[in-house]
């Protein structure tokens, strides 16, 4: 089990989600798709854990399984000491008041038939927090807090810009005063200027309300800017996790090295966090080839067929490496010591 800090708010232990692969008119099961496989991590109060990886790596499925928007196949999720998987409908609904999600597409939560105010205030009604004039006042407060004018309350989603819809989605998540918010690529559909505004808003809200974030994204520079720690997923598995500055400056897993090598100007995000990159890890080989088919998982290390590491051998194709602590708080799933660049800082430093 990977420990982030003392007394975590969220503990995910060996979380797994499989989907049946069926064929024919009678949906005969012919295999399984391993969307998430044996994922473990913790998130402490007030921190932001970033989760990165290629499309299809299992990031969103992991988040949905944590919230039980999809039922996990196995593993456990404990939120503030409560085993989420054991809860029946009523206690799960009560717990979800403390666990919310901001989706990539706000259109998935904003009903096109209802004014923004009705959708934003929906949680107040469901959880019996406020109604009538009190609910209307709370909605006005929420819209103001996310930077939306009062007139937005009467508009329908199609009458709002993409940035306004996403702000309304954030207000909807905040309405029930949660402790933990999953941000599932919340700015990927926005233009660059609007991305910066929404990211700054999320950070301001985190400070104001003491929020804890699980931030899912594919923009590594963005994750470098917002995350306290970062986890890297590949083919449904967590292959590296640690402090953001340490993982970006000194990546251990060859997959992480390849991801970083493919992204220009990452140093800007880390310098903003007071942790300048040396630049050396970005000189690694960029990612080559395609991930394996979801119904045909590779044997051994899930990355071995695409791995550029010169020391990989038959052992990598045979042994599935566990996550091991390679440096304080920095875990990676790799059998080999990484190829180190001459200017890369020592992990022992």
Helix residue spans in the chain (DSSP H): 59-67, 89-96, 116-120, 122-126, 132-145, 162-174, 192-209, 220-226, 244-249, 254-261, 267-272, 314-318
Whether 338 maps to a domain, the answer reads no
What's residue 7's pLDDT?
Answer: 78
Angle at 207 between CA 182 and CA 77, to 5 degrees: 30
State the pairing for strand pair 324-327/330-332: antiparallel
pTM: 0.87
Whether 272 maps to a domain, the answer reads yes
Q: How confident is the model at residue 312 (pLDDT cuts 50, 70, 90)?
A: low
User: CA-to-CA distance for 229 and 243, rounded, in angstroms?
Assistant: 4
Q: Looking at residue 79, which CATH number applies to its domain?
A: 3.40.50.300
Interval 224-242: pLDDT, tens: 989 999 999 999 999 999 9
State the pairing for strand pair 48-52/324-327: unpaired
Whether 242 maps to a domain, the answer reads yes
Does the pLDDT value for residue 310 go beyond 80? no
Average pLDDT of the residues in 178-191: 92
Residue 183's domain spans which residues?
8-98+178-332
Whether 109 maps to a domain, the answer reads no
Whether 155 maps to a domain, the answer reads no
Contact of 106 with 166, CB cutoff 8 Å:
yes
What's residue 273's pLDDT?
Answer: 52
Number of domains in the chain: 1
Whether 153 maps to a domain, the answer reads no
What's residue 62's pLDDT?
Answer: 97
Does the pLDDT value for residue 57 go beyond 60? yes
Contact of 309 with 254, CB cutoff 8 Å:
yes
Contact of 43 with 182, CB cutoff 8 Å:
no
Whether 147 maps to a domain, the answer reads no
Whether 186 maps to a domain, the answer reads yes
């Amino acid at each position: 089990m990977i420990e982030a800090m003392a007394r975590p708010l969220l503990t995910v232990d060996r979380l797994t989600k499989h989907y049946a692969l069926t064929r024919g008119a009678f949906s005969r099961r012919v295999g399984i798709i391993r969307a998430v496989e044996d994922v473990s991590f913790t998130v402490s109060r007030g921190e932001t854990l970033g989760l990165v990886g290629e499309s299809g790596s299992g990031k969103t499925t992991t988040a949905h399984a944590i919230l039980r928007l999809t039922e996990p196949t196995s593993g456990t999720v404990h939120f503030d000491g409560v085993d989420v998987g054991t809860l029946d409908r009523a206690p799960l609904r009560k717990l979800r008041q403390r666990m919310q999600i901001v989706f990539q597409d706000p259109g998935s939560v904003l009903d096109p038939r209802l004014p923004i105010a009705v959708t934003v205030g929906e949680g107040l009604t469901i959880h019996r927090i406020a109604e009538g004039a009190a609910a209307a006042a709370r909605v006005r407060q929420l819209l103001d807090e996310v930077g939306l004018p009062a007139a937005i309350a009467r508009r329908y989603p199609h009458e709002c810009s993409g940035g306004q819809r996403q702000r309304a989605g954030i207000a909807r998540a905040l309405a029930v005063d949660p402790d933990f918010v999953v941000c599932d690529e919340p700015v990927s559909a926005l233009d660059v200027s609007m991305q910066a505004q929404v990211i700054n808003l999320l950070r301001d809200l985190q400070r104001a309300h003491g929020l804890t974030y699980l931030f899912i994204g594919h923009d590594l520079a963005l994750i470098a800017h917002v995350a306290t720690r970062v986890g890297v997923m590949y083919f449904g598995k967590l292959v590296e996790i640690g402090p953001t500055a340490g993982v970006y400056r000194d990546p251990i897993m060859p997959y992480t090295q390849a991801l970083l090598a493919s992204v220009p100007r990452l140093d800007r995000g880390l310098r903003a966090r007071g942790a300048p990159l040396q630049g050396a890890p970005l000189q690694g080989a960029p990612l080559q080839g395609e991930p394996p088919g979801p119904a045909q998982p590779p044997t051994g290390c899930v990355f071995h067929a695409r791995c550029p590491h010169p020391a990989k051998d038959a052992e990598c194709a045979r042994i599935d490496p566990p996550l091991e602590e390679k440096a304080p708080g920095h875990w990676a799933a790799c059998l080999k010591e990484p190829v180190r660049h001459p200017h890369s800082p020592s992990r022992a430093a």
